[in-house]
Amino acid sequence: MAESTHPAPPPTPARWPVGAAHLVLSGPSGSGKSTVGRLVATALGRVWVEGDAFHPVANRDKMAAGIPLDDDDRAPWLDRLAGELHRLGDLGLPAVLACSALKRSYRDVLRSCGYPVTVVQILVSPEDLAARVAARHAHFMPASLVAGQVALMEPLHEDEDGIAVPSAEDPQATARAVLDELGFVLSWD
């Protein structure tokens, strides 16, 4: 993968909430990271960031044509996401970001934002991922690319700040599991 061009971040400002971290919901296409991420962001009152919105048009076109992205395609996208996390951090706003972040090296780029980042990998079987993506109609990512993402996905390493959470049938149940695993105690109606 190409080196990150994101500059070294300044020290965390005093306005950053004590103990807070940006949350990155990761997993292959169809894992529910956007749906669950929005629920988690709402529950925590955090800024929601849809990682797909930061893809260059060329990346979206490539995926829509059934061509998988390579590390060189992903590098500017990941840099843009790290930049957005940095910008939000400077404003004292912890965020919840949906981003595939399949490999350790991709997650490390996001961690270069200068603020704490906790990764939440959403675990779903390859068969369920393919079925979910095939059922979507208004998304640029075709089901034919899911197997490649599954093959690329690296589990969290022991030294990474993060958790892995199995996906439930109900996205709200998955969001509850994420919040429980992270130690948030919230009342859900």
What number is the average pLDDT over the span 58-73? 89
pLDDT at residue 20, rounded to an integer: 83
Average pLDDT, the chain: 85
Per-residue model confidence as pLDDT tens digits over 79-100: 999 999 999 999 999 999 999 9
- Model-level pTM? 0.84
Per-residue model confidence as pLDDT tens digits over 11-42: 444 466 777 899 999 998 888 899 999 999 99
Check whether 143 has a pLDDT greater than 70: no
What number is the average pLDDT over the span 106-111? 98
pLDDT at residue 10, rounded to an integer: 45
Q: Give a three-class secondary structure readout of the chain.
A: CCCCCCCCCCCCCCCCCCCCCEEEEECCCCCCHHHHHHHHHHHHCCEEEEHHHHCCHHHHHHHHCCCCCCHHHHHHHHHHHHHHHHHHHHCCCCEEEECCCCCHHHHHHHHCCCCCEEEEEEECCHHHHHHHHHHCCCCCCCHHHHHHHHHHCCCCCCCCCEEEEECCCCHHHHHHHHHHHHCCCCCCC
pLDDT at residue 8, rounded to an integer: 45
What domains, with CATH codes, occur in the chain? 22-180 (3.40.50.300)
Check whether 78 has a pLDDT greater than 50: yes
Per-residue model confidence as pLDDT tens digits over 163-189: 999 998 899 999 999 999 998 755 544
Check whether 1 has a pLDDT greater than 70: no
